[in-house]
Amino acid sequence: MEKRKVIFDTDPGQDDAVAILTALASPELDVLGICTVAGNIPLDLTTKNALKLVELAGRTDVPVHAGCDRPLGRALVTAEHVHGATGLDGPDLPEPAIAAGSAHGVDFLIETVRAHAPDSVTLLALGPLTNVALAFAKAPGIVTRLKALVLMGGGCFEGGNITPAAEFNIYVDPEAAAMVFRSGVAITVLPLDVTHQMLSTRARIDAFRALGNKAGAAVAAILSFSERFDVAKYGSAGAPLHDPCVTAFVLDPSIFEGRMVNVEIETGSLITRGMTVADYWGVTDRPKNAFWVRSGDADRFYQLLTERIGRLP
């Protein structure tokens, strides 16, 4: 079986952690590296958390590189109110014994894509798109070399989660998102429309804990902590699990359904900054530039995650 080569660009983050751990446990994927970006928490913490995760997974062969510490042209907005002061509040993970690589994450991303055959590397973006936009601006040739960009971000039918109009990842750096969506890269979007269907109910959290391994216990602790905010906010039976939808889509796209649409990013309005204007019903003649995932099978999604996390130490 030929493995699918992937690079993560991420701001871990509890949900990022589950996405990364699932990938590191999946034999179908060759994780070439992890680039970190400021988002859920500042860059030093997202990088530390990525290092903790590769150690937890027993995958210290996967390099981690720190990228951009702020958006392209705005002050950084973070989300400690959701993820806690460390971004990985919940499990008691040890301080990492390994260090991040010396190369800037953007340069690592560029050089890694260049080092592999065209149409062989998929970029998995779980946070603000600052690194991705900067890489595309610095090395436009990698846009056509990438197989695909699969990202978590945006919302159409579900609106936003940081403002009424905007999802957090896009809101933090809307200029970067606008550059990426206009780049011509093949994009798949896992928006709030689908992630809000993937609720981490008590039974699903207990299934991770029942695995009996360190990774399962950590994921159960992660989800138990992070759910408190969204359960209170939405009044649902569990919290949405956002970023793992990206990994699950790459592993088994049949779990999900969507369609090609045009997506534009609002950058000028104070009220709708970061809004993903998804023309789901085709009411304009703007060219379709993204596959927008609207729904998914939550039971199959959690079965996949639980089975993969169960393979880890």
| Catalytically annotated residues | 242
Closest CA to 312 of 213, 244, 207, 205: 213
pLDDT digits (tens, 9 = 90+) for 167-191: 999 999 999 999 999 999 999 999 9
Domain that holds residue 151: 4-309
pLDDT digits (tens, 9 = 90+) for 53-109: 999 999 999 999 999 999 999 999 998 988 889 889 889 899 999 999 999 999 999
User: Half-sphere exposure (CA, 13 Å, Cβ side) for 215?
Assistant: 25
Asked if residue 287 has pLDDT above 80, the reply is yes
Q: 10 Å Cβ neighbour count for 27?
A: 9
Measure the CA–CA gap between 92 and 308, rounded to whole angstroms: 21
CATH number of residue 263's parent domain: 3.90.245.10
Dihedral pair phi/psi, residue 15, rounded to 5°: -70, -35
Residue 226 has what pLDDT? 66
Q: What percent of the chain has pLDDT over 90?
A: 90
Lowest mean pLDDT segment, chosen from 21-30, 129-138, 170-179, 220-229: 220-229
Residue 81 has what pLDDT? 84
Q: Is the Cα dihedral 295, 300, 306, 310 positive or negative?
A: negative
Residue 228 has what pLDDT? 61
pLDDT digits (tens, 9 = 90+) for 8-63: 999 999 999 999 999 999 999 999 999 999 999 999 999 999 999 999 999 999 99
Q: For the chain, what is the domain count?
A: 1
Angle, vertex CA 286, rays to CA 285 and CA 292, nearest 5: 115
